[in-house]
Amino acid sequence: MAKGIMIIVEQRNLQIRKVSLELLSQARKIADATGEPVVAVVLGQGIDELAATVAASGADKVILIDDAKLAEYTTGAYTSVLNKLIRKEEPQAVLIGNTAVGKDLAPRLAQRLGVGLASDCTGMEADSNSFLTFKRPIYAGKAFAHLTSNVRPIMATIRPNTFPVAAPDAARQAEVVKEAAEIDAADLVAILKEVAIAASKRPELTEANIIVSGGRGMKGPENYNILEDLADVVGAAVGASRAAVDSGWKEHKFQVGQTGKTVAPTLYIACGISGAIQHLAGMGSSKFIVAINKDPEANIFNVADYGIVGDLFEVVPLLTEEFKKLVNE
């Protein structure tokens, strides 16, 4: 009989991704209300030390699959190993962060298991009839669909910054189980040789609590330094609209929108962004939106919680100075 909420914990360089901690925190709340256990699965190499962190974050059981072939994420190996594990454990639900890894892995797992997938969800709660109900934006964020399933396991990917991370409980004890990785040669069609990561002190765009984004109003790539100055003061990530990326001002990895990255920070500061529907689809779930635009009729003001009508080249430096004062107090 299916039992438990399984979280596929994503880690990078033995650092657990924030979205996985969010999922553990929310799953713990649901587990306390439903009596279901929380099972966390960690894949990688040399991952023993992560068990304590995962347990403190809400897991009742931690499954470690430690193998050199799993040191870096590869689609074939991870899909094969997790498919076998899920069939063995028979959880009620399987949850994965809606990250680059999650978006690659989850649909393949769902296909292998023969189940549906609720993708890019921005809400999850207990349901007395179907165990879990998920909420996800549709029609570029203009409406929300509420999804349930009677097929087990229920599978979903959850957008980063959807749930708060609960304070870890160091006293929490979890059962730790080590499973062998059964990886066939056919699972290693693609082998990852090297991962090149650009050095940056700023948080990753999809996990940042604050994002400062610039659009066509930036007028050129040389002007992004004023956004970077503000971002560095408040500990924010820097983003860009599709217009700015298409103009070659920023790389695609910085693009926020329907054809870029979907983000849900606590604070989103949109500078010189008109508010095209494609962009709104990628940042509409932000908790607070501040828009800076000299056009009072710009569509971005229709979704903004706070709006500043003015020249961003004058407004942003003033904001930076004010935030510096607050930070130094």
Write out the residue range of the structural domain in which residue 142 sits: 5-188
173 annotated binding-site participant: no
307 annotated binding-site participant: no
156 annotated binding-site participant: no
For residues 133-156, give the mean pLDDT. Answer: 90
293 annotated binding-site participant: yes
- Rounded distance between C-alpha atoms, residue 113 and residue 80, angstroms: 11
- Rounded distance between C-alpha atoms, residue 256 and residue 22, angstroms: 22
More confident residue, 65 or 285: 65
pLDDT of res. 129? 83
131 strand-pairing partners? 127
For residues 142-167, give the mean pLDDT. Answer: 92
Out of 153, 188, 223, a domain closes at 188
**Tens digit of pLDDT for each residue in 218-252?**
999 999 999 999 999 999 999 999 999 999 999 99
For residues 137-156, give the mean pLDDT. Answer: 90
Q: Among candidates 187, 184, 234, which has minimal Cα distance to 208?
A: 234
Contact (CB, 8 A) for 107 and 117: yes
The model's confidence at residue 142, banded by pLDDT at 50, 70 and 90, is confident
Contact (CB, 8 A) for 97 and 27: no
pLDDT of res. 1? 58
**Tens digit of pLDDT for each residue in 301-323?**
999 999 999 999 999 999 999 99
> Cα-flanking dihedrals φ and ψ of residue 131, to 5°?
80, -55
- Rounded distance between C-alpha atoms, residue 73 and residue 79, angstroms: 10
Out of 188, 220, 254, a domain closes at 188
256 annotated binding-site participant: yes
Q: Are 163 and 280 members of one domain?
A: no
242 annotated binding-site participant: yes
- Rounded distance between C-alpha atoms, residue 120 and residue 134, angstroms: 10
Contact (CB, 8 A) for 90 and 152: yes
206 annotated binding-site participant: no
**Tens digit of pLDDT for each residue in 101-136?**
999 999 999 999 999 999 999 999 988 888 999 999
More confident residue, 196 or 145: 145
Sign of CA dihedral 169, 172, 175, 177: positive
Q: Are 109 and 210 members of one domain?
A: no
pLDDT of res. 285? 87
**Tens digit of pLDDT for each residue in 161-172?**
899 999 999 899
More confident residue, 139 or 24: 24
At position 221, the amino acid (one-letter code) is: P
Residue 184 CA to chain centroid, in angstroms? 30
The model's confidence at residue 263, banded by pLDDT at 50, 70 and 90, is very high
> Cα-flanking dihedrals φ and ψ of residue 237, to 5°?
-95, 160
For residues 289-298, give the mean pLDDT. Answer: 96
Q: Has residue 257 got a pLDDT over 80? A: yes
310 annotated binding-site participant: no
For residues 138-157, give the mean pLDDT. Answer: 90
For residues 30-47, give the mean pLDDT. Answer: 94
For the chain, the average pLDDT equals 92
272 annotated binding-site participant: yes
203 strand-pairing partners? none
For residues 133-162, give the mean pLDDT. Answer: 91
Q: Are 209 and 320 members of one domain?
A: yes
Q: Are 162 and 233 members of one domain?
A: no
Q: How many domains does the chain have?
A: 2
275 annotated binding-site participant: yes
> Domain of 89: which CATH number?
3.40.50.620
H or E element: which one contains 37? none
Structural domain contains residue 39: yes
Output the 3-class SS for 185-196.
HHHHCCCCCCCC
The model's confidence at residue 194, banded by pLDDT at 50, 70 and 90, is low
Q: Are 142 and 229 members of one domain?
A: no
Q: Are 9 and 97 members of one domain?
A: yes
pLDDT of res. 200? 67
216 annotated binding-site participant: yes
More confident residue, 285 or 217: 217
Out of 159, 188, 217, a domain closes at 188
Structural domain contains residue 282: yes
Q: Are 219 and 182 members of one domain?
A: no
Residue 77 CA to chain centroid, in angstroms? 22
pLDDT of res. 138? 87
Q: Are 131 and 213 members of one domain?
A: no
